[in-house]
Amino acid sequence: MTAPRWLDESEARLWRAYLVLVRDLRRAFDRQLERDAGLSGADYAVLVPLSEAADGVLRMRELGRSVDWDRSRLSHQVRRMEKRGLVAREDCAEDARGSMVRLTDAGRAAIEAAAPEHVETVRRYFIDQLSEDERAVLTDVFERLNQRLDSDGAV
Amino acid sequence: MTAPRWLDESEARLWRAYLVLVRDLRRAFDRQLERDAGLSGADYAVLVPLSEAADGVLRMRELGRSVDWDRSRLSHQVRRMEKRGLVAREDCAEDARGSMVRLTDAGRAAIEAAAPEHVETVRRYFIDQLSEDERAVLTDVFERLNQRLDSDGAV
DNA sequence: TCGGACTGGGTGATGCGTCAACATCACGAT
DNA sequence: ATCGTGATGTTGACGCATCACCCAGTCCGA
C-alpha cells in the first residue's frame, strides 16, 4: 500500500478545467437542441444514423452499433421517441427476434431543423475556438486516451 | 439563411473522439468509485468539499457553491446521501432558512477509501498519458473554451 | 413598520443512463 | 430432431440531472 500520487496544482487545474468543460459543453448542446428543435442530445444521436440510412429504416441492432449504446439504453430511448412520434417500430422480416426502427416524417423534420444550428454550436463553442495545431494535438490526445481506455477494458 | 458550415473529415474526427472520450472516461470513473467505495461520481463530488471543511460541516449554500450545482440538484443528492448515512442534515443557527450538512463517520470513511484509487484512475486514464507540452495545451484550450461558454451566457 | 423583492431550500415530474433479469429466437453440435 | 448456447430485444428499478413550482425567512426601501 503505497502513498497515492496526488495531483499537483497544475494537474488539478487541468483536471478541473476538463470536468467543467464537459459539463458546460454538454449543457450548451442540450439546451440548443431543445430550444431549436425540441430534441435531447440522445434524440439527436439516434436520429443521425436513421436519417443517413436507406429509407430511414434500421434494425435495432444496427442502430445500436451506430450509436454504440447497450441494448437496454437504446430500447428505452426508442420507446420514448416512439411515444413522441419521432420514430416507429416495425417487425423484422428476416429475424423474428429483430425489431426495425423507422424514421417518421416528423422525425426527419426534427433532425433537419436541428442539424444546422447544432453544427454551428459545435463550431462556436469548440472547433472554431481552436488553432490548427491545437486541433491536431487534441485529436491525437483524445484518440490515444480512447485507445488506453479500450485496451484496458475500462469501457 | 446561409448554408451551414458542416464539419470536414478531420473536424468530425476530433468531435467524435471528444464525445467518445467524455462518455468512456465518465464511465470508467463511475465504475471505479462504485467498485472501490460504493460511491457515485455525484457522491464523490459532494464528499470532497465536506471532507475539507472545518468539522466536516457546510451550509447547503456553501456546498452548492463548491460543487457549482443548482439548489435543486444538490437537495436531491443530499437527500439520497442522507438516506444512505453518508451525511446528516441539521438546522442552521444563523439563518432559519438555512440547512447544514454534516459529514458522518461513514461518509468520511467512504471518501478516504475512495480518494487514493480515484486519483490513481485520473492518472492512469488521463494525466499520466499526456506529455508536459500536451498538458499545457489542454489546460490552455479547456480554460479558453470555458471562458467562451461563460462569456456567451451558455451555461 | 410594512410590503414587496430576493434568497435559501425543498418537492414532483420527467427524461437520461445503467444494471439485473427475463423472454424469445437462431443456430450449430450431437 | 433436439438440446444448449448465444444473440436480440424488452422491462423494472434506481440513481442522476433538469425544470417548474412552492414555501418560508430575510432584507430593504417607502
Q: For B99-117, how does the pLDDT look when each residue is reduced to its tens digit (9 = 90+)?
A: 999 999 999 999 999 999 9
Instruction: Indicate the residue type of B27.
Output: R
Q: Kindly state the DSSP code that residue A152 receives in the 8-state scheme.
A: T
Q: d(Cα B129, Cα B111) in Å, to the nearest integer?
A: 25
Note whether residue A32 is domain-resident. Answer: no
Give the mean model confidence (pLDDT) for residues A38-62: 97
The answer to whether residue B57 sits within a structural domain is yes
Whether A121 is in a domain gets the answer: yes
When pLDDT is cut at 50, 70 and 90, the band that residue A41 belongs to is very high
Nearest protein residue, CA measured to C1' of D19: B72
Query: What residue numbers bound the domain in which B33 lies?
Result: 12-126
Mean local confidence (pLDDT), B50-56: 95
Report CB contact under 8 Å: A7, B126. no
- Which chain B residues are within 8 Å of A26, Cβ to Cβ? 22
Confidence of residue B94 (pLDDT cuts 50, 70, 90): very high
Residue A94 lies in a domain: yes
The reply to whether B40 falls in a domain is yes
Taking the CA of residue B51 and the nearest CA in chain A, the distance in Å comes to: 16
pLDDT in tens, B25-44: 999 999 999 999 999 999 99
As for how many domains chain A has, the answer is 1
> What is the CATH number for B33?
1.10.10.10
Whether B154 has a pLDDT exceeding 90, the answer reads no
Give every CB contact of residue B83 below 8 A, 6+ residues apart in sequence: none
How far, in Å, CA of A47 to CA of A43, rounded? 6
- Asked, for residue A16, whether it belongs to a domain, the answer is no
pLDDT of residue B1: 60
Measured CA to CA in angstroms, residue A30 lies from A53, A117, B46, B155 at distances of: 24, 12, 24, 11
In whole angstroms, what is the distance from residue B115 CA to residue B80 CA?
Answer: 21
Q: Report the distance separating Cα A127 and Cα A134, nearest Å.
A: 10
